[in-house]
Copies of this chain bind each other. A is one copy, B any other.
Amino acid sequence: MQTKQPDLTRDKILHSAFCEIHRQGFQAASITNILQDTGLTKGALYHHFPTKQALGLAVIDEVIKQRLEQLIFRPLRDSDKPVEALLDVIATINKKVPADFVMLGCPLNNLMQEMSALDQLFQQQLSGVLGIWQRTVEDALKRGQQQGEIRADVDYKAAALFVVSAWEGCIGVAKNMQSPKAFESCMKQLHVYVEGLMSPPRKKAQGGRQSR
C-alpha cells in the first residue's frame, strides 16, 4: 500500500463525483468542480479513471448500486417475510433517506432519464442495477406467493416491473413538484397497489384513502 493511499483518493473522487452528478446530472457535471471538492487535481482523476465516462460508470457501480443494495435490496433479500419487508421498505423509505434526496431525485433514475438514450454503456450499467432491483422485488413477490400471502393469479414478474417503475415515477414526480409530501402520498398508493396483490385474509382489505 502506498502512503498516498490511492484507494482512499479514488473513493474521495467517486464520492465527490456522485454528489456533483446527483446535483447537476452527468453531462453537466464539471470535472473541475468534482476535483475542487476533493482538493485533488486532474492528474489524480485521470490516473484513476481513463475518461469522464468511466468515472460515471464507476459511480453507478460502486456508489449508487451499493446504496440501493443497503437501502432496499438487502432488507428484501434477508427477510423471510418478503411481502411484509417490501411493504415496510415502501412505507419507510422516505424516512431512511436524506430529505434532499426527494428534491434531487433518485440518482439512478436521474441517470437513466439522462443517459439511457445517449450512451449504450450507461444504458447497460443502469439497466443492470435496475434489473437487480426488479428481480429482488420479483423474488419477494414470488416467495410471498409460495407462502400464500400473494394471490396465486398474480404475474409477479409484471407486478415487480410495475412496482419499480411506479417507485421511480413517484420520486420523479415528487422531485418535479419539489414536494416530499407528494412523495409520501404517492408511495402510499404504491403500498395500496402491493396490498392489492395480497390474498384476502378475513377482513376485506385496502381501499385508497388518505390525506390530500
Question: Copies per complex?
Answer: 2
Q: Does A186 contact B (CB under 8 A)?
A: yes
Report the stretch among A49-57, A84-92, A147-155 that lies at the interface: A147-155
Q: Does A104 contact B (CB under 8 A)?
A: yes
Q: Is the interface of A mostly helix, strand, loop or mixed?
A: helix
Contacts of A166 in B (CB 8 A): 162, 165-166, 169-170, 190
Q: Which residues in chain A, 131-177, are within 8 Å of chain B measured between CB atoms?
A: 151, 153-155, 157-159, 161-162, 164-170, 172-177
Q: Does A116 contact B (CB under 8 A)?
A: yes
Interface size class of A (residues with CB under 8 A): 35 or more
Q: Does A197 contact B (CB under 8 A)?
A: yes
Q: Determine which of B109, B164, B196 lies in contact with A113 in the assembled complex, contact meaning CB atoms within 8 Å.
A: B109
Decide if A185 touches B170 in the complex (CB within 8 Å). Answer: no
Decide if B161 touches A185 in the complex (CB within 8 Å). Answer: yes
List the B residue with the shortest CB-CB distance to A24: B118
List the B residue with the shortest CB-CB distance to A23: B117
Q: Does A94 contact B (CB under 8 A)?
A: no
Report the stretch among A6-14, A36-44, A122-130 that lies at the interface: A122-130
